Structure 1
Amino acid sequence: MEITGKIKKIDETKTFGASGFRKREMVVTTNEQYPQMLLVEFVQDKCDLLNNYQVGQDVKISINLRGREWINPQGEAVYFNSIQGWRVEAAQPEGSAGAPPAPIESFETTSNIDDSEPDDLPF
């Protein structure tokens, strides 16, 4: 899946536990009639993908949706969802999705056509 939008916030990389698990979060505001502010997580080596981006930049992010279950102390199941990014690229501004169209070549008229020959076409 992909989301596009403008970067609102980029957090610093945080490290957790003895294993050195790394996580970095980014907030992207979507370009929709009703813009959404989505928190996207980048983990482990994907944290470094955000080094080349800054707040205000338009981006396209490839994501995976993640969900997990946790059983609380009362024995009830609680569910959590997250958006995990795995690729980021600068978004193309709207209206410039590809190369500009090739120019239309104009036809040249030729003056060496002999109009004196009869036209044998029925129309």
Structure 2
Amino acid sequence: MEVEGKIKVIGETKEYGKNGFRKREVVITTEEQYPQFLNIEFVQDKTQLVDNFSVGENVKIGINLRGREWVSPQGETKYFNSIQGWRIERLDQSQNQDASIPPADQFEPVDDLNEEDPEDDLPF
């Protein structure tokens, strides 16, 4: 799966436990009618993927949805979900525009056409 949005927050890499589990969180804001704030986790060696990105950049992130079950000491079962990132890339601003129409300054000016031009052999 992939999600697109603008980077709102880039967290610091944090280390947990004796085994050195590393996690870094990135929050993106989606661009839709009702924008969503998605907290995406990058773990272990994927934490460094975020190093060259900045707040405000438009990105596309490859994600996996993760779910966990936890049973409390009282026997109550709870479920947790997370979004885990495994790839991140910049979205070029020009991708959001229609690439099939060149900018106006790339068209040649058209001379005024004379309707009675003898070289005009079009039937309409």
Task: Give the TM-score normalised by the residue count of structure 1.
Answer: 0.77
| Structure 1 alignment gaps of length 5 or more | 104-110, 112-123
Instruction: Look up the equivalent residue of 1:49 and give its one-letter code.
Output: L
Q: 1:95 aligned to 2:78?
A: no
- How big is the shift at 1:92? 2.9
Distance 1:52 1:25 in 2: 14
Give the superposed CA RMSD.
1.9
Aligned length: 103
Q: 1:65 aligned to 2:58?
A: no
Local SS of the residue matching 2:51: helix
The superposition leaves residues 37-88 of structure 1 with CA deviations (integer Å, 9 ceiling, x where unpaired) of 0000000000000000000000000000000000012101100000000000
Q: 1:76 aligned to 2:76?
A: yes
Partner in structure 2 of residue 52 of structure 1: 52
Task: Give the TM-score normalised by the residue count of structure 2.
Answer: 0.77
Partner in structure 1 of residue 109 of structure 2: none
Partner in structure 1 of residue 33 of structure 2: 33
Instruction: Look up the equivalent residue of 2:97 and give its one-letter code.
Output: G
Distance 1:100 1:24 in 2: 40
| Structure 2 alignment gaps of length 5 or more | 107-118, 120-124
Q: Residues 49 and 76 (structure 1 numbering): CA distance in 2 closer, same or farther, change over 3 Å? A: same
Q: Residues 44 and 99 (structure 1 numbering): CA distance in 2 closer, same or farther, change over 3 Å? A: farther
Distance 2:36 2:68 in 1: 23
